[in-house]
Chain A
């Protein structure tokens, strides 16, 4: 495989994440309404939103510093950087596959949310500060879960490089049903819900500022920066879904050769896998109600316990 092909495939992966992220968001929004027997918005609505916001004039608060101006770029760039590290379409390592492991991916995503949190406080709006502190609370509780999941992964795969990890679950195929694998999936699923601000942790479609966690941080933004934030958060969701479906679930359907046909098939199959995961998320979201803020600790505590159990299972099996 030539460097050009590898670079091309890498760019294709970036394009996949950046281009389809709004679509995934649109699909989830539509299904959420459909499942409640409502029509729901078009699945293309996020693209229209982005076009509208990019065209609009924007303002920053008078007290805002460079942090507010930089935050949208950080939010938008961090998922794209992570995309370079993870197998989105191919199951063979590409350019940058060994530049960082899953812990690095977690930290890079963390940079985005760090700047967003700072920006929320930076604007001087009270809701922003409230949302920022709540996000930090969820973040503090979610981080140990991620770390323990990574421990469990490393016990199984002896590595945390995504391209290495993904091969472990099917060699031999019985490994797929090992308790470590299933419990890791379970814990990471709970983590995705918390990290992407979905029910039962946060209600993304709520309009009541006092109850918001994630949404209240971006109240202060408008125009193109707001569009970047929307896009960035959609990409973050997509990246987490890719990690779940391709790295932690199974490398099924990924292209194993750099041929055009294999890559096209991979695009289709990965799209389907993510869509199935989104359907699952939507079902969970519509069947639970939002937890009170202080019960979030219990929710993430449960996720932590699942992760630790996975780790114990991994240690015992090895």
Chain B
């Protein structure tokens, strides 16, 4: 068996683990564990980029993989760890909006919706790695669920970043020739995002005393 025969299968495996890490981010309770899962997910994204870039060889995807490795699993956690107070990471979310089994079932339902959407697209035009599109759509929806069930600031943002990962997992399959300059700019605005989020989280922590942002509900339209 030549080595490149394994590329599609291993890439599919990476995709499977990718969506599992998204599920994990829905249910793990510790903020720090959520961050670790995000790091794993970003590493899987980079690995998928390298793998798809190896056969047929593409400088472009290798560059994307390198940028991803630098910005997502390294730079973002560093920024978040450094700027957000350490107490935040020790928080266990006792009161999620949904209990874990319900959230998991909902995540599964969303993933199935994503799979059916993605599968319809993936076969619209021939692709080297259609599973990336399918998993990208499924993980995008699961990432949105993270936003909905999480109450803490950092996991909410990690949900957005997970959605971004999902979009790019689909992106490396559907747009491998996406202009590199745009790709680079996108990759480097993600650390900026982490920075802004961290600054804002710190301000919330200072002002409110916790980072349970879901409990901030002062602003609403109340009828007098």
| Complex A–B touching at CB under 8 A | yes
Residue on B nearest A294 in the bound complex, by CB: B99
Chain A residues contacting B15 (CB-CB under 8 Å) are 179
CB <8 Å contact, B107 and A305: yes
Are B12's CB and A174's CB within 8 A? no
How distant is the Cα of A172 from the Cα of B24 in the complex, in angstroms? Answer: 31
> B-side binding surface: helix, strand, loop or mixed?
helix
Binds A, one of B62-70, B82-90, B108-116, B154-162: B108-116
Contacts of B12 in A (CB 8 A): 178-179, 313, 317
- Nearest chain-A residue to B99 (Cβ)? A298
> In the complex, which residues of chain B have a beta carbon less than 8 angstroms from the beta carbon of A173?
1
Q: Which residue of A lies closest to B23 (CB)?
A: A305
Given A174-B6, A305-B23; A313-B1 close (CB under 8 Å): no
- Do B27 and A298 touch (CB < 8 A)? yes
Residues of B within 8 A of A304 (CB): 104
Instruction: Flag whether A182 is at the interface (Cβ < 8 A).
Output: yes
Complex Cα distance, B1 from A317, in Å, reads 20
Is B131 in contact with chain A by the CB < 8 A criterion?
yes
Q: Give the contact-size bracket for chain A.
A: 20 to 34
Residues of B within 8 A of A310 (CB): 16
- State whether B111 touches A312 (Cβ < 8 A): yes
The docked-state distance in angstroms from the alpha carbon of A302 to that of B9 is 23
Residues of A within 8 A of B32 (CB): none
Q: Could you say which interface size class chain B belongs to?
A: 20 to 34
A69 at the interface (CB under 8 A from B): no
A316 touching B131 by the CB < 8 A rule? yes
Q: By the criterion CB–CB under 8 Å, are A175 and B9 in contact?
A: yes
Rounded to whole angstroms, the CA-CA distance of A310 and B17 in the bound complex is 10
Tell me, in angstroms, the Cα distance from A304 to B20 when the chains sit together. 11
Of B1, B101, B115, which one neighbours A301 at CB under 8 angstroms? B101
Residues of A within 8 A of B17 (CB): 179
| B101: A residues at CB distance < 8 A | 297-298, 301
Task: Contact check, A182 vs B13: say whether CB atoms are below 8 A apart.
Answer: yes
Partner of A174 from the list B9, B105, B134 (CB cut-off 8 Å) is: B9
Given the known inter-chain contacts A302-B27, A316-B134, please indicate yes or no for A177 contacting B111, CB distance below 8 A.
no
State the CA gap A174–B13 with chains docked (Å).
Answer: 11
Would you give the shortest CB distance from A10 to chain B, in whole angstroms?
A: 34
B182 within 8 A of A: no
Q: How far is the CB of A302 from chain B (nearest CB, A)?
A: 7
Q: Are B112 and A179 in touch, CB under 8 angstroms?
A: no
Question: A29 in the interface, Cβ–Cβ < 8 Å?
Answer: no
Cross-chain pairs A/B with CB under 8 angstroms, 28 sampled: A174-B1, A175-B9, A176-B9, A177-B10, A177-B13, A178-B9, A179-B9, A179-B12, A179-B13, A179-B17, A183-B16, A183-B20, A297-B100, A301-B27, A301-B100, A301-B101, A301-B104, A302-B24, A302-B27, A302-B104, A305-B104, A309-B16, A309-B19, A309-B23, A310-B16, A312-B115, A316-B134, A317-B12
Interchain residue pairs A-B with the least CB separation, the first 4: A179-B16, A177-B9, A298-B100, A301-B101
